[in-house]
Copies of this chain bind each other. A is one copy, B any other.
Amino acid sequence: MASDGDGRVAPSRPRGSYPKGQARRQQILDEAVLVFGRSGSMSGSLREVAKRVGLTPAGLLHHFASKEELFAEVLRQRDERVRDAAGEPAEHGLIAQAAAVVAYNQTTRGLTSLYTTVVAEAADPDHPLHDDFAERYRARAEGTAELLRAGQRAGEIAPDIDPEAAARLISAVMDGIQQQWLLDETVDMTALFDEFVRGYLHPAASPR
C-alpha cells in the first residue's frame, strides 16, 4: 500500500560522494516529494521538479541512475513522513495507525498515486524494486499478524479471524480503496476502512 510506515523501499546508493552532488540530490528529492505530493501527472511532475531546481528532466536524471531510482528514493522519504504523521502500529495500536495512514494518504494525492504506479510496475519480476516490494509486504504482514494475535488475546480483535490472512487483507483493503479513491475522489476511504474494521476485525457486539 502507499500506506504504511513500517515497510521501506530500500534506499539507493548516492552517485558520487562529492558534497555538492549530495546537496543537489537532496534538493531534487525535497522538491520531488513536494511536487509529487500535490500533483497528479507523473511526467508533468518530473518536468516541474526539474524546473524548480533549474534542470532539464534529462539533467535531473543525471543525479539518479534511473527514473526508478528517483521514484524509490522519493517513496523512501515519503515513508518517513508517513511514520512521522501516523506513528508505528505497535505504538498507537494497529487500527488507529492504519486509519491515520489512510487519512494521511488523502493529503498527498500525487505521492499516493506514484506509490500505486511504482508498486504495479514492480509486479514485473525484472523490475529493480520487485524483491524490495515483495519483502515489504511480507514483513508488514508478519508484523501485523503478530499485533492481531495480541489483539485477539486482549479481546479487541474478533477471535475467529485468521491473523495471517487478516494481515494480508488489511494491506489489500488499504491499497484497493486507495486505487478507487485515486480514480474518483468521492470515494470515502476513511468510511470504507471503518466499515471493514467494524465488520471484519472487530468482535461483534451482539450476535450477527
The segment from A13-21, A49-57, A66-74, A184-192 found at the interface with B is: A184-192
A125 located at the interface, meaning its Cβ lies under 8 Å from any Cβ of chain B in the complex: yes
**CA distance in complex: A120, B175 (Å):** 11
Which A residues form the contact surface with B (CB < 8 A)? 1, 40-42, 44, 113, 116-117, 119-126, 130, 133-134, 137-138, 158-162, 165-166, 168-169, 171-177, 179-180, 182-184, 187, 191-192, 195-196, 199-200, 203-204, 206-208
Q: Is the CB of A192 within 8 A of B204?
A: no
How near does chain B come to A128, taking the closest CB pair, in angstroms?
A: 12
Q: Is the CB of B120 within 8 A of A179?
A: yes
Q: Is the CB of A123 within 8 A of B179?
A: yes
10 contacts between A and B (CB under 8 A): A41-B125, A116-B120, A123-B179, A123-B182, A161-B195, A172-B175, A172-B177, A173-B176, A175-B179, A207-B207
- Chain B residues positioned under 8 Å from A208 (CB to CB): 158-160, 203-204, 207-208
**CA distance in complex: A184, B132 (Å):** 11
Instruction: Choose among A116, A161, A168, A174 the residue with the greatest number of B CB atoms under 10 Å from its CB.
Output: A168
**Given A113-B123, A172-B175, A172-B179: 15 more A-B contacts, CB < 8 Å:** A40-B125, A42-B124, A119-B179, A119-B183, A120-B120, A120-B121, A130-B183, A137-B183, A138-B184, A162-B195, A169-B173, A173-B173, A173-B176, A175-B175, A207-B208
Partner of A168, one of B160, B169, B177: B177
- Chain B residues positioned under 8 Å from A138 (CB to CB): 184
How many copies altogether?
A: 2
Q: Is the CB of B195 within 8 A of A166?
A: yes
**CA distance in complex: A192, B137 (Å):** 15
